[in-house]
């Protein structure tokens, strides 16, 4: 039976802060995704997909994941103020 420590995987090099940030932004994105799906609203659905995608793809740095996620949320707030 192979040793688990020798098996390479996606989460081998992820830090605890990046994992926590991924759970946080993925959870917020999932909320937007469900809301956009149920309300048939395109903007929250797209924001949810973007946040979930960022939390899935940017596992190297919690800081950059958070910066990109906050930028996505700022774009959402701007779009809502513009009337979209």
pLDDT digits (tens, 9 = 90+) for 14-68: 889 999 999 999 999 999 999 999 999 999 999 999 999 999 999 889 999 999 9
pTM: 0.84
Residue 84 has pLDDT above 70, yes or no: yes
Structure tokens at 47: 């924001």
For residues 44 and 57, give the distance between their C-alpha atoms in angstroms, rounded to a whole number: 20
Strands of 8-75, DSSP E: none
| Residue 2: pLDDT band with limits 50, 70, 90 | low
Q: Are 33 and 52 in contact (CB under 8 A)?
A: yes
Question: What's the distance, CA 4 to chain centroid?
Answer: 28
Mean pLDDT, residues 71-82 = 97
């Amino acid at each position: 039976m192979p040793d688990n420590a020798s098996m390479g995987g996606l989460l081998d090099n992820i830090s605890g802060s990046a994992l926590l940030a991924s759970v946080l932004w993925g959870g917020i994105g999932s909320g937007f995704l469900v809301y956009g799906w149920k309300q048939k609203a395109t903007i929250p659905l797209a924001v949810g997909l973007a946040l979930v995608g960022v939390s899935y793809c940017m596992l190297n740095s919690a800081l950059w994941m958070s910066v990109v996620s906050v930028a996505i949320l700022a774009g959402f707030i701007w779009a809502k103020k513009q009337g979209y």
